[in-house]
Amino acid sequence: MGYRHLTIDERESILKIMRSGQKNMADIATELGRNKGTISRELSRNRSSTGEYKPHLAQRYYSKRRQASKQPYRLEHNGRLRQYVRNKLKRYFSPEQIAGRLEIDYCDDLQMRVSPLVIYNWVQRDKKTGGKLYKYLRQGHRKRRKKRGCLNTQGQIPDRRPISERPKAVDKREELGHWEGDTVVGKSNGSFVATHVERKSRYLLVGKTADKSAESMNATTQGLFRKIPRSQRKTMTFDKGKEFAGFKELEKSVGFRCYFADPYSS
């Protein structure tokens, strides 16, 4: 699903869940409808100096990082950071090493942060103006180029609706009728099962499909939802499997509005 930064309300919810005795990150992530990695990064990056997790302090850390990341050409505007990077380059540190070393040498100073890509771009700008810093790079760094021409749409589902357009209320799991669909494949692709889980109640619908085609998926899904009241068929979220390519027919026959998760997102 599309990545969204944690809000102060979600950070307060994390603390509340932890105080209730639930410390497992996977459980916290499930409770908030978030990825486990998001919770892991939040707890590792935003604790206080005493190791405690404080939502308002975490929000302040986050805001400082966001502000620092938006500064244009930060190396040109930050003389102390620029001199640090220059000195390390002349000692043949790689940009990756420099970025990592900054977090150690200036662990409490968020102004002393820079990504490897920013360093590479800065070195390229320096080279264009006659600078020699590029000579200290261990190996050439190919400049990224924007892909041009026609986009490759092979294997994509036409007119799919991205999850970013899904109502925000669905994330809160406060009302019934919002579902997530998936496919379970048996050993050696010998059998296929359609699964649909209601987000709030965790109610599960399971049905065997003849194969992994969109037609079979639609037929099984229509049968599974016959006993579900229309009022409980609000949204359905799929991944981008081709078996869900017939989602428009499902919207008409079953009644819910379909959305699709972002690539590589659970």
pLDDT for residue 68: 59
CB 257 within 8 A of CB 228: no
Show contacts of 41-50: CB within 8 Å, 24+ apart. Answer: 42/6, 42/11, 42/14, 43/14, 46/11
Q: What is the pTM of this model?
A: 0.43
> What one-character DSSP code corresponds to residue 7?
P
Q: What is the pLDDT of residues 93-141, one digit of tens each?
A: 999 999 899 989 988 888 888 888 889 988 998 898 899 999 888 765 5
Are 241 and 169 in a shared domain?
Answer: yes
Query: What's the CA gap between 188 and 166, in Å, rounded?
Result: 35
Total domains, the chain: 3
One domain, residues 168 and 249 = yes
Determine the pLDDT at residue 1.
43
- 158 falls within a domain: no
Instruction: Evaluate whether 71 touches 115 at the Cβ level (below 8 Å).
Output: no
* Mean pLDDT, the chain, integer: 85
Decide if 150 is inside a domain: no
* Spatial separation of the C-alpha atoms in residues 145 and 124, rounded to whole Å: 14
* pLDDT per residue as tens digits for the range 171-209: 989 999 999 999 998 877 778 999 999 999 999 999 999
Residues 58 and 91 in one domain: no
- β-pairing verdict for 235-238 and 178-185: parallel
Average confidence (pLDDT) over 50-71: 78
The confidence band for 67, taking pLDDT boundaries of 50, 70 and 90, is: low
Task: Report which of 177, 156, 157 is spatially closest to residue 166, judged by C-alpha positions.
Answer: 177
Which residue range(s) make up the domain with 79?
71-136
User: How many Å apart are CA 19 and CA 38, to the nearest integer?
Assistant: 19
Q: Which two tokens stand for residue 180?
A: 């997530």
Residue 60 pLDDT greater than 70, yes or no: yes
Alpha-carbon distance of 197 to 139, in angstroms, equals 50
**Crossing angle of helices 79-90/116-128, nearest 10°?**
80
- Tell me: do 56 and 78 sit in the same domain: no
The alpha carbons of the chain give a radius of gyration, in whole angstroms, of 24
Same domain? For 34 and 15 the reply is yes
* Distance between CA atoms of residues 213 and 220, nearest Å: 11
Distance CA 247, CA 239 (A): 11
Q: What is the pLDDT of residues 208-225, one digit of tens each?
A: 999 889 999 999 999 999
